[in-house]
Chains A and B, each alone.
Chain A
């Protein structure tokens, strides 16, 4: 994937360039633990290739995967809001290539340039909204075995 990921795609080029200037390429092998629930949310990623599973810790059980994040998608938004702690854990399912952004520098950039900050927050909110909607739809269990009587 050579296009900018959708999170950045909608931003004006100047904003995009300033954000990408903060990013560094990162690669992870299969099974790499990227973060754990409750840990400091000090960075986020835009996935270029590969797949990352988000999980929740439940004592006595293997952590269930609640969603996966793949190419073109934003991994991590807990860095946006205090207390900057991860809500979920993350682990790669396959080798992953991503842009990694340092959260403190991005937040500082947002503070210094409120227009950029507003646009980026708007885009993140859109992503969060889409995921909330997707989660609600999964709650419907649309493909569940029928309970009908016909």
Chain B
């Protein structure tokens, strides 16, 4: 049991514009550091005077304790975070949430499927699997984006291709795009899915998650081998504000990463 503390100050040491409306913030503790984050966990990130938003960690640098958060400007707080410059300070609380269960993926093929900004919480998974290749089977990374310009981590995707199957598809081809056009489920036919020994990790808009999980199940993957990262309103991160409920789940404690077998019936209930 830990006490809910005020945020700790973290200094922005670098900003990387990823797309027209998303920025990766590299953060180092200004004084004391938060406990270690695991892939899939999130922090409550405080923009001074504006507010806090839950943002999954998109890279964890253990050497110096740096955390990277990729923020998409969708509201007042995330907009303020996207405007930060190196040297600025934010408040950080965490780590919160379950994180991806990579222990259960040991010995299995890992299939990462991301839609849009959903690649951010999955990037630490790719890093971890690439760091420990002998612990896992094959790594597949399937990414859907609106256009090629909306793709996150374009340089890294190229680098991952040397040790993983990386497939990218866009909803709308823009001039110069020579790759796949269509939804991310279309990439499943292109990946060599060994349904009997694959662990799939999904993050993206809920419609994309449901559609992709169903497509995986249709291809023989059991629902309990599918982990999904879900999103609801969160105010505290500590299970006290009551906002992030999805039926029996308090997503800030029981999620954001949950097993699809358990969450599928909940996602099927409208306005739950």
Interface residues in chain A, defined as those with a beta carbon under 8 Å from any beta carbon in chain B: 1, 6, 51, 53, 62, 64-68, 70-73, 93-94, 130, 133-134, 137-138, 140-146, 148-150
What's the Cα separation between A134 and B214 when bound, in Å? 12
- Find the A residue at minimum CB distance from B21: A145
Task: Tell me which residues across on chain B come within 8 A of A134, comparing CB atoms.
Answer: 182-183, 185-186, 211
Within 8 A of A (CB), among B185-209: 185-186, 189-190, 192, 204-205, 207-208
Contacting pair B150 A68 (CB below 8 A): no
Contacting pair B211 A133 (CB below 8 A): yes
What's the Cα separation between A62 and B244 when bound, in Å? 46
Contacting pair B189 A73 (CB below 8 A): yes
Task: Tell me which residues across on chain B come within 8 A of A145, comparing CB atoms.
Answer: 20-21
Main SS class of interface, A = loop
Within 8 A of A (CB), among B145-191: 145-146, 150, 169, 171, 173, 175, 177-183, 185-186, 189-190
Interface centre among B77, B186, B192, B211 (most CB of A within 10 A): B186
- Find the A residue at minimum CB distance from B53: A150
Give the total of B residues in contact with A, Cβ under 8 Å: 36
Contacting pair A53 B181 (CB below 8 A): yes
Contacting pair B145 A143 (CB below 8 A): yes
- Find the A residue at minimum CB distance from B204: A142
Contacting pair A137 B189 (CB below 8 A): no
What's the Cα separation between A50 and B77 when bound, in Å? 44
What's the Cα separation between A55 and B175 when bound, in Å? 14
Within 8 A of A (CB), among B15-48: 20-21
What's the Cα separation between A141 and B190 when bound, in Å? 23
Q: How far is the CB of B118 from chain A (nearest CB, A)?
A: 9
Contacting pair A70 B189 (CB below 8 A): yes
- Find the B residue at minimum CB distance from A30: B178
Given the known interface contacts A142-B115, A142-B207, the answer about A150 and B189 at a Cβ–Cβ threshold of 8 Å is no
Q: How far is the CB of A137 from chain B (nearest CB, A)?
A: 5
Contacting pair A6 B189 (CB below 8 A): yes
Q: How far is the CB of A87 from chain B (nearest CB, A)?
A: 16
